[in-house]
Amino acid sequence: MTTENNKTLFTPVNIITGIFLAIGLVITVLRFTKGLGYVTNLDDNNPWGIWISFDLLCGVALAAGGYTTSSACYLFGLKKYHSAVRPAILTAFLGYALVVFALHYDVGRPYRLPYPIFVSPGTTSLLYEVGLCVFLYVTVLAIEFSPAAFEWLGMKKLRNTVTKLTLALTVFGVVLSTLHQSSLGALYVAVPSKIHPLWYSPYLAILFFVSSIPAGLSMVIFEGTLAHKPWHHMMDKTHLDEHEGVILGFARGASISLAAYFCVKLVAVAYDNNWAYLATGWGAWYLLEVLGFVALPSMLYAIGSREKNIKLIKWTSALTVFGIILNRFNVSIVAFNWQLPSSQRYFPSWMEIGISIFVVTVGVTVYRFIVSRMPIFFEHPEYKDAH
């Protein structure tokens, strides 16, 4: 290996990535040889922890850019967003694939993860519906992503066959996303005594689905911002020319959907007449989430799109992504078992956090590999007229 290759390989990013992967692999061995109790702080009162809150709930919400972008382009005919479809589909596919990957750590018998779908379907369970929809949607995303891989591999016939299914796959993907995004919220409707009244609501299913729309749109902007500099050389003229229009259009959509989400949050508080809780410490935390990470981003997106302030929109996308993560954590951890004494409350162990970092690192590594080789940010020369 030459000195130049060594310099290329041993970059700060690659070194940090290698460290995270190595630590994650060690914890993985401990998890599957010593059991859940050795690496987690989970117990009977807190059977779901950060692996569900971050890896599943946040992962699914932030991967919603796949169905929002493809539906905008192929169902609503907004072809000006076509350049954003493949990056969004890739992010969604990796997001959902990592959700399934991370679930193997959380399930007591990971080898039985497919069991409810293929062996003994539990059709009366919300978890069954979530599992089935995620399984089907991962399959849909894999097929939607496959044309990029087929173009890279030179498999023209397979690529042309799959692209004919684009409209059907988009419709199927939207239906499945509507189901499982809302069902994840519906899971928590079953535990009204465990979640603080400000976060518990019979509208949780609607809240989770509505919030997934600005989450997906914001994640497309955020991911595009992070990718723009390191892979600028991979982007063709079409992608670069449409970049600003995509950001402005998605900012408008995110602003409107955040406003709708804010209204549903108000209806949820009013429905159970929980206004008195707003004067408590929990109420201050709730208002910080709703005003600081829902209402404020909605306004900033509106200002940014009106004034064509791209920098403001990019910062707002990061604020919105953080707000969605905060909401999912509030529902599943912070406001969960809120009446228990602090000594009995759940806080993740360092190894749980390490596995979550490991999962994200795996996703980023795979993403870097794909976008550096496959036609994600550019149109393949042989298929320019086929897109």
Cβ-Cβ contacts under 8 Å for 316 (sequence gap 6 or more):
218, 251, 254, 297, 300, 301, 304
Average pLDDT over residues 129-133: 87
pTM of the model: 0.92
Cβ-Cβ contacts under 8 Å for 199 (sequence gap 6 or more):
286, 330, 331, 335
* Least confident segment among 215-224, 250-259, 285-294, 341-350: 341-350
**pLDDT of 153 above 70:** yes
Average pLDDT over residues 301-315: 96
**pLDDT of 5 above 60:** no
Predicted confidence band at 216 (pLDDT cuts at 50, 70, 90)? very high
Predicted pLDDT of residue 2: 38
**189 DSSP 8-state letter:** G
pLDDT, averaged across the chain: 91
Can you read off the two tokens belonging to residue 148?
Answer: 């990029």
Predicted confidence band at 131 (pLDDT cuts at 50, 70, 90)? confident
d(CA 57, CA 355): 16
Residues 319-339: tens digit of each pLDDT: 999 999 999 999 999 999 999
* Least confident segment among 69-78, 201-210, 357-366: 69-78
Cβ distance 358 to 364 under 8 Å?
no
Nearest CA to 293 out of 329, 333, 262, 248 is that of 262
Predicted pLDDT of residue 6: 46
Average pLDDT over residues 16-41: 95
**pLDDT of 76 above 70:** yes
- DSSP-derived 3-state class of residue 139: helix
Can you read off the two tokens belonging to residue 351?
Answer: 């190894």
**pLDDT of 314 above 50:** yes
Provide the H-helix boundaries in 229-280.
237-271
Nearest CA to 96 out of 146, 131, 47 is that of 131
Provide the H-helix boundaries in 108-236.
115-118, 126-153, 156-163, 166-187, 204-228
Q: Which residue has the higher pLDDT, 133 or 299?
A: 299
Predicted confidence band at 10 (pLDDT cuts at 50, 70, 90)? confident
**233 DSSP 8-state letter:** G
Cβ distance 352 to 50 under 8 Å?
yes
Predicted pLDDT of residue 306: 96
DSSP assignment of 35-67 equals -HHHH----SS----HIIIIIIIIHHHHTTHHH
**pLDDT of 382 above 90:** no
Predicted pLDDT of residue 111: 85
Residues 179-212: tens digit of each pLDDT: 989 999 999 998 999 999 999 999 999 999 999 9
Predicted pLDDT of residue 387: 52
Q: Which residue ranges form the domains of the chain, and what is each CATH number? A: 13-378 (1.20.1630.10)
Q: HSE of 216 in the Cβ direction (CA atoms, 13 Å)?
A: 34
**195 DSSP 8-state letter:** B
Average pLDDT over residues 343-358: 94
DSSP assignment of 274-310 equals -GGGGGSHHHHHHHHHHIIIIIHHHHHHHHHHHHT-H
Cβ distance 249 to 81 under 8 Å?
yes
Can you read off the two tokens belonging to residue 342?
Answer: 């602090």
**pLDDT of 3 above 50:** no
d(CA 266, CA 173): 29
How many residues does this entry show for the chain?
387
d(CA 75, CA 168): 10
Predicted pLDDT of residue 386: 56
**pLDDT of 98 above 50:** yes
Q: Which residue has the higher pLDDT, 115 or 318?
A: 318
d(CA 171, CA 70): 9
Predicted pLDDT of residue 124: 77
Residue bearing tokens 């408008």: 252
Predicted confidence band at 1 (pLDDT cuts at 50, 70, 90)? very low
Can you read off the two tokens belonging to residue 10?
Answer: 């041993």
